[in-house]
Amino acid sequence: MALLCYAGEIEAGERAVARFRTLATPIADMVRPMPYLEIYQFTAGGPSPEYEAARSLFLDAVDRPTAEGIVDHLEASSALLAVAQLRVLGGAMARVSADATAYAHRGRRIMASIGAVWERPDQAATHKAWVTNFAATLRQGKPGV
């Protein structure tokens, strides 16, 4: 599953999304122009997972070995749901001075969120270790989130 968001001109977003659409035939394709707040309706009102672990970190780049490592980690997980979310940063956010607000990591290029959801409490150690190891494998440059 890929959740995509492009904040900018619709035509530029369509060009960026077109490259993802060539990767495989989707089961469902719900990507379309919409107001920003509508992107959160996908998860609103759903059940909350009872057991989950997550880590977030910054990346400076996602090259082929990093991308392959992400896929390898996801395939190796035995969690009910294993997630790696990459959020490309920059744009207007990066044009504000790092000391202007409480959000100081404006020079970082990508934020990664790693997560796992599982069903039983006895699975916690396995999935928490997977999340911690995955995040440590991805870590690049200075820490922060």
Into how many domains does the chain fold? 2
Whether 73 and 31 map to the same domain: the answer is: no
**For the segment 34-47, what is each residue's pLDDT rounded down to a tens digit?**
887 887 776 666 66
Q: What is the pLDDT of residue 145?
A: 67
Whether 106 and 140 map to the same domain: the answer is: yes
- For the chain, give the longest Cα–Cα distance: 48
DSSP letters along 61-100, please?
A: ---HHHHHHHHHHHHH--SSEEEEEEEE--GGGGGS-TTS
Whether 52 and 39 map to the same domain: the answer is: no
Whether 94 and 140 map to the same domain: the answer is: yes
Q: What is the pLDDT of residue 131?
A: 97
Whether 40 and 64 map to the same domain: the answer is: no
The residue with greater pLDDT, 109 or 132, is 132
Output the domain CATH number for residue 56: 3.40.462.20
Whether 95 and 72 map to the same domain: the answer is: yes
pTM above 0.85, yes or no: no
Residue 135 predicted with pLDDT over 80: yes
Whether 102 and 33 map to the same domain: the answer is: no
Query: Which residues in the chain belong to E strands, given as ranges?
Result: 51-59, 81-88, 110-118
Say which range, 24-28, 45-49, 53-57, 94-98, has the weakest mean pLDDT: 45-49
Whether 73 and 143 map to the same domain: the answer is: yes
The residue with greater pLDDT, 39 or 128, is 128
Distance (Å) of CA 125 to CA 1, 76, 133, 135: 26, 15, 12, 15
Whether 55 and 103 map to the same domain: the answer is: yes
Whether 55 and 41 map to the same domain: the answer is: no
Q: Which amino acid is at 34?
A: M
Whether 51 and 34 map to the same domain: the answer is: no
Distance from chain centroid for Cα 131: 13
Please give the residue range of the domain that contains residue 106.
Answer: 47-145
The residue with greater pLDDT, 143 or 81, is 81
The residue with greater pLDDT, 69 or 49, is 69
Q: What is the pLDDT of residue 89?
A: 84
Q: What is the pLDDT of residue 130?
A: 97
Whether 4 and 67 map to the same domain: the answer is: no
**For the segment 69-100, what is each residue's pLDDT rounded down to a tens digit?**
999 999 999 999 999 998 888 777 778 887 88
